[in-house]
Amino acid sequence: MNSTQLFEQICRKRSFLCVGLDTDLAKLPACLQDSEDSVFAFNRAVIDATAPYAVSYKPNMAFYEAGGAEGWRSYEKTVSYIREHYPDIFIIADAKRGDIGNTSRLYARSFFEGSSAVDAVTLSPYMGHDTAAPFLEYEGRWAVLLALTSNGSAADFELQRMSSGDYLYETVLRTSRSWGNEDNIMYVVGATQAAMLERVRALVPNHFFLVPGVGAQGGSLEEVARYGMNSRCGLLVNSSRGIIYADSSERFAEAAGEKAKELACEMSRLLDTFLK
């Protein structure tokens, strides 16, 4: 999928919502405990309920790896299910991989080939271009690079000044934007400081951002749209727990759908307001 197709989907659904599938075996509703593969059963129900409002799903690999080989199987089944039933939806494996050489090539192959291939993988930029290169060789697939994250210890390195005067995350943006283009590179940009979102947008005006950490609060979502949106939206805003754990009863999927719908309604309004 390229950025034009992603934007078309955003326009069609009036939403730039990414639903994070951080599916935790310990948090599943009691009614699913007897399922043969309760993680997959949960995901399938959440996906069916939220698909009208979501343009992207983001399985968080840690939650599947925690289940070992079985967890990995649940992940593969989830991706295959989305592909089969909702082929237009953009799937991001949130793996934050960051290796080089033949190791990086193997990661790219794992995520981008076969029946459970995804559209995009999150990557750490620490080791430089060698990490992203194998992923960028796949036509229509994306590397989602960590740039500015919203955690406290982003201050340790990302927000340290380089000799050029830039923050490290700005150096990452300036350097990596030439590794590919707006059809195969996306950036993780945290939403905690709207002023910084504006700086990031100035550096990479045309790229999509994957923005984590926005809940159902209209306020912060509005700031993200105000400072981050470009002429083709350029945003995928993720919500995980606020949607998938909205309710722990048998109504869990219905509740997830309602939360996703709420966010999509707000996003529709923001597209009207801020799409340039």
Q: Which residues bind a second copy (CB under 8 A)?
A: 22, 24, 60, 62-63, 65-66, 68-70, 72-73, 76, 94, 96-104, 106-107, 109-110, 114, 116, 124-131, 146, 149, 151-158, 160-163, 165, 168, 171-172, 175-176
Q: Least distance in Å: CB of 245 to a second copy?
A: 12
96 is catalytic: yes
Q: What's the min distance (Å) between Cβ of 45 and a second copy?
A: 22
CB of 172 to a second copy, least distance (A): 7
Q: Which is nearer to a second copy, 33 or 178 (CB)?
A: 178
The angle that helices 3-13 and 252-274 make with each other, rounded to 10 degrees, is 110
Q: Which is nearer to a second copy, 105 or 261 (CB)?
A: 105
CB 90 within 8 A of CB 120: yes
Q: Which is nearer to a second copy, 33 or 102 (CB)?
A: 102
Instruction: Say if residues 199 and 159 touch (Cβ distance below 8 Å).
Output: no
Nearest CB to a second copy, comparing residues 20 and 228: 20
Catalytic residue among 27, 77, 96, 276: 96
User: Which residue, among 242, 239, 245, has the nearest Cα to 32 in the 3D structure?
Assistant: 245
Angle between helix 168-176 and helix 129-136 axes, rounded to 10 deg = 40
Alpha-carbon distance of 228 to 270, in angstroms, equals: 11
What's the closest the beta carbon of residue 44 comes to a second copy, in angstroms?
18
Nearest to 188 by CA among 220, 221, 171, 211: 211
- Nearest alpha carbon to residue 210 among 143, 127, 111: 143
| Sign of the dihedral through C-alpha 100, 146, 182, 47 | positive
Residues tagged active-site: 96
